[in-house]
Amino acid sequence: MRDAPKVLEGPPAPEAELRWNRVRRGRGLARGAGHWLRRNAAVLLVYGFLLIAWEIVGSLPSVPAFILPSPSEILHRVARDPGKLVFHSLVTLQEVVLGFLLAVLAGIPLGVLIVSSRFLERLLYPLLVALQAIPKVALAPILVIWFGFGPTSKVTLAFVTATFPIVINTVVGMAQTPPEMIHLMRSLGASGLQTFTKVRLIAAAPHVFGGFKIGITLAMVGAVVGEFIASNSGLGYFLLIANNAFDAPLLFGIVILLSLLSIALFYLIELLEMLVLPRPLRRRASGVRPGAGV
């Protein structure tokens, strides 16, 4: 060790220490908010500007309200009757969350099966791709015939839409473990289950969470499409009502609400990811880091 490079002998590299400290210090809530504002000032400014521009254009006498209502008009309309919006939102949310949970319960095992057997891969993969290739709108009428006008057909549609990305990402994630690692585990006498739980599943987790994030937004699309086709509640249904009534401010309000709900669900998954994943596996989705072996 005499002439080893310095870094091999000292305590953990000071830069690494610093990096973690900085992350931790940012965790204080008040500090965090101030920091966040400073970092995103430019972005907020752009959005603020766009909002003001929209307000101005929307208020021009030459732009009729049924084509582009201004943000204030939309807010006004939404505030007039929030009860119905909340009710329909809850219906849609329930369908999305249920469909998504089913997709998780089915998608992960399917992905694992596809990775673990050539036969099952050949059997299931084309089926999944074919199912994914069908425009979900085309499926909706069939599902309505099968499951009726109620939420079941929407939950099913959300489930079918959300499953695919979860399966695919599970497959990609499971393939992250290099064959040598599997040899290594086998040479230690590890069972297939041990290799799965101690190595492959954890290595796959960041990808699986990536699949969740795509899946939850697709589940929203699936549920709303289902409501469009045939239903008597939910935001998709409410949207049609508003459309038929030429109630543009409400229409815009619902669209914005749908998008806000999607964003909220997306970040809920991300929060869960931060809580569940061990530290070095976080941020995986957002960037490839050097020296990532497994």
**CA neighbours closer than 13 Å in the CB half-sphere of residue 265:** 26
The reply to whether 90 sits near another protein by the rule CB under 8 A is no
Q: Is 172 in the site for another protein (CB under 8 A)?
A: no
Select from 210, 204, 208, 96 the least CA-distant residue to 160: 96
Choose among 80, 97, 75, 56: nearest CA to 216: 97
Here's the x/- map for another protein, 15-34, by CB under 8 A: it reads as: -x------------------
**Minimum CB distance to another protein, residue 21 (Å):** 13
Decide if residue 287 touches another protein (CB under 8 A).
no
Q: How far apart are CA 139 and CA 150, in angstroms?
A: 16
**Least distance from another protein to the Cβ atom of residue 287, Å:** 12
Residues between 174 and 203 that touch another protein (CB under 8 A): 178, 180-181, 183-190, 194, 198-199, 202-203
Contacts of 156 (CB under 8 A, 6+ apart): 99, 143, 146, 147, 226
State in angstroms the smallest separation of the CB of 207 from another protein. Answer: 13
> Which positions ≥6 away from 127 have C-beta within 8 Å?
none
| Nearest alpha carbon to residue 162 among 109, 89, 88, 98 | 98
Regarding 62 and contact with another protein (CB under 8 A), the answer is no
Residue number, 61 or 280, with CB nearest to another protein: 280
CA pair distance 174, 186, nearest whole angstrom: 17
Q: Is 292 in the site for another protein (CB under 8 A)?
A: yes
Which of 108, 270, 103 lies closest to 174, judged by CA?
Answer: 108
The answer to the question of residue 13 lying near another protein (CB under 8 A) is yes
Pick between residue 190 and residue 255 the one whose CB is nearest to another protein: 190
Q: Nearest distance from residue 60's CB to another protein, in Å?
A: 55
Residue entry with tokens 């960037």:
287
Number of residues that bind another protein (CB under 8 A): 38
The answer to whether residues 170 and 112 touch, using CB atoms and an 8 Å cutoff, is: yes
Residue in 68, 131, 255, 281 binding another protein, rule: CB under 8 A: 281
Residue 76 vs 283, nearer CB to another protein: 283
List contacts with another protein (CB under 8 A): 1, 3-5, 7-13, 16, 178, 180-181, 183-190, 194, 198-199, 202-203, 277-281, 289, 291-294
